[in-house]
Amino acid sequence: MQQRPRNFDKQIHNEEYKAHLYEPRLTHEGMFHDAYREKELLNGLWHFQVDQYDTFLRSEWYKEELTDKEGRAIPPEYNYDQWDVVSVPSCWNIKDQRCFYYEGIGIYTRKFKYVNRGEERVFIKIGAANYETRIFLNKQFIGYHKGGSTPFYVEVTDYLEKENRIQVVVDNSRRKDTLPADNTDWFNYGGLYRDVALFRLPKTFIKDFKLQLQPGSNMKILQGHIRVDGPEQEGEALLRIPELNIKQTVYVKNGKASIEIEAHPELWSTDTPKLYKVEITYGEDVVKESIGFREIMVKGTDIYLNGEKIFLKGIACHEESKENGKAVTEEEIVENLRVAKEMNCNYMRVAHYPHSERVAQIADTLGIMLWEEIPVYWTIEFENPETIADAQNQLLELIKRDQNRASVIIWSVGNENPDTDARLQFMKNLALKAKETDATRLISAACLVDKISNIIDDRLSEYLDIIGINEYYGWYDPNFEKLPQCFENSKPDKPVVITEFGAGALSGHRGTRDDFFTEDHQYNVYKRQVEVLGSIPYIKGISPWILFDFRCPRRTNQYQKGYNLKGLLSGDKKHKKLAYYVMQEFYRDK
């Protein structure tokens, strides 16, 4: 151990200041079932401060030590209540013009009251914060979370007082070891951009609850599990689905129970997105759910929903709006799904990271199937144990969050990753983990074609149910003839879904079909693409890139100006480009 210099000053010399701020780590294990639980939102105006030098953590501002040991005043370097306020949820890039390109640390703080209602356990949930988050409550560090788009939960029962101060330190610095890593094709928004909520639960509560149609049961068996948390590890739970006349006692032992019930539900489908109210009671706790029952499977190169062959008529979508960045509103989510439906879609690729949990809840009610994805994007540190653990945790957080959503039919473990041995190992493990955790959905990934032999031949395919393929013939690769050739060269034994194709066009910009960035050029690429894709028997779905234009710092020409223009709609979602109608027509006739 290096000796501490005699003039060591903790405030400025201590580079180990963060070492004790990684535990407790908030992971999928700390999640609880909250889909339709009562909650108290801690949204609203929070004080906010950019913290470029990480001084909050370095100087332990959370301790609010404003005097020395003898009680003499120390000059304060902060005053939480004088900081500017921002609304939560939001992205700091949007709410404060000075922060548009800011990447780094931001501190959020507010006060709230708490009145104890007797025997209760209290938790705080953060819907998402990008990317690394530390939570402090009443001068104590209570949890650390990694991952920019999944929810996390921390128990605060023992930290609460009548008047509380919470601080949330969010760091969106791009790094090599994160997911995604430092290089992506979208904007790196920062902040506390989904709801912050407080939950009061009984001493023993239902922590996890899943109920789905058992695959291969002729659509007659509802299967699932319950996990409880708290001192009452043994007892009877009551499961009720009034509309199906189901009232079943389930025995909980060691905090766990399996569910298996024979039933004949009306099946959830895109035409009739039937949802059932499900209720589970255990001791004082009740959880409610709204669940659609459906079976999704593949056989040969076909995809079946409830035993019938389907074609995934889709569109890819980012989580963004011009006005709100990633902190999209309920209305914006509904509007995106509505426009997709109007385009005759029955499916959406929710790329490249988990979007708000409201997306799947709303898609459940509208009858739109979803592909959900974790941000294993392009090149990441496939061999770094910390990155591996982070990816697995994000996957499990996503699965746990949306495990009861009928709309979610595919878990995607990544996008356009280089086919190296390390990547194969990394993604194979994710695919196997997803399957082992959830057998009621299909596993996929958006892969690239082998560019040298022009063939679909990604080694990861072996571990996938559906092979996703991104291809940009007619755009990045102007030799369009290679598209039909590639399909001719390939003999996949599984369904292929074209997870991306596309071309950029500035809304309203017209020209010939040879002029880049005109709607005419984009239209032409779409026309040629669907003509080929529609004729390949093993292609069982398409999700062109992308529903609307989105912010992207890599795109800097005179048309793009910081936007990726491959949208079928403009960035403000007001203008439909010509190519939109190509898809609308193609899907109508498909």
Which positions touch ligand GCB (CB under 6 A)? 185, 352, 415-416, 470, 500, 545, 564, 566
Q: What is the closest distance, in whole angstroms, from the C-beta atom of residue 416 to ligand GCB in the complex?
A: 5
Q: How many CB atoms lie within 10 A of CB 219?
A: 18
Contact 353, 149 (CB under 8 A): yes
Instruction: Return the closest-CA partner of residue 26 out of 165, 137, 153.
Output: 153
DSSP 265: P
Cis preceding linkage at 24, omega within 30: yes
Amino acid code (one letter) for 271 = D
Q: What is the closest distance, in whole angstroms, from the C-beta atom of residue 70 to ligand GCB in the complex?
A: 58
Q: What is the closest distance, in whole angstroms, from the C-beta atom of residue 222 to ligand GCB in the complex?
A: 37
Angle at 148 between CA 142 and CA 152, to 5 degrees: 40
Give the three-state DSSP class for 495: coil
Q: How many CB atoms lie within 10 A of CB 329?
A: 14
Please give the helix or strand (H or E) that residue 173 lies within, else none: none
252/445 with CB nearer ligand GCB: 445
301/415 with CB nearer ligand GCB: 415
131/545 with CB nearer ligand GCB: 545
318/405 with CB nearer ligand GCB: 318
Instruction: Return the closest-CA partner of residue 346 out of 273, 446, 413.
Output: 273
In order of 5, 420, 432, 442, the CA distances from 436 in angstroms are 53, 24, 6, 11
Q: What is the closest distance, in whole angstroms, from the C-beta atom of residue 376 to ligand GCB in the complex?
A: 12
Q: What is the closest distance, in whole angstroms, from the C-beta atom of residue 426 to ligand GCB in the complex?
A: 18
193/475 with CB nearer ligand GCB: 475
Q: What is the closest distance, in whole angstroms, from the C-beta atom of residue 516 to ligand GCB in the complex?
A: 13
What is the Cα–Cα distance from 354 to 35, expressed in whole angstroms?
16
Q: What is the closest distance, in whole angstroms, from the C-beta atom of residue 446 to ligand GCB in the complex?
A: 6
Burial 53-67 (b: 16+ CB within 10 A, else e): eebbbbbbbbeeeee
106/375 with CB nearer ligand GCB: 375
What is the Cα–Cα distance from 213 to 223, expressed in whole angstroms?
6
What is the Cα–Cα distance from 124 to 128, expressed in whole angstroms?
12
Only one residue has tokens 């950019």, namely 50
Amino acid code (one letter) for 19 = A
Q: What is the closest distance, in whole angstroms, from the C-beta atom of residue 377 to ligand GCB in the complex?
A: 7
Q: Please enumerate in sequence order all residues whose Cβ is within 8 A of that of 328, keeping only pairs 6 or more positions apart, or say none.
A: 319, 320, 321, 355, 356
Instruction: Return the closest-CA partner of residue 360 out of 309, 318, 409.
Output: 409
Q: What is the closest distance, in whole angstroms, from the C-beta atom of residue 570 to ligand GCB in the complex?
A: 16
Q: What is the closest distance, in whole angstroms, from the C-beta atom of residue 412 to ligand GCB in the complex?
A: 11
126/446 with CB nearer ligand GCB: 446
Q: Which residue's C-beta sits nearest to ligand GCB?
A: 185
Q: Please enumerate in sequence order all residues whose Cβ is within 8 A of that of 256, keeping only pairs 6 or more positions apart, or say none.
A: 225, 226, 227, 228
Q: What is the closest distance, in whole angstroms, from the C-beta atom of residue 352 to ligand GCB in the complex?
A: 6
Amino acid code (one letter) for 53 = Y
171/471 with CB nearer ligand GCB: 471
212/470 with CB nearer ligand GCB: 470
Instruction: Return the closest-CA partner of residue 584 out of 313, 336, 371.
Output: 313
153/347 with CB nearer ligand GCB: 347
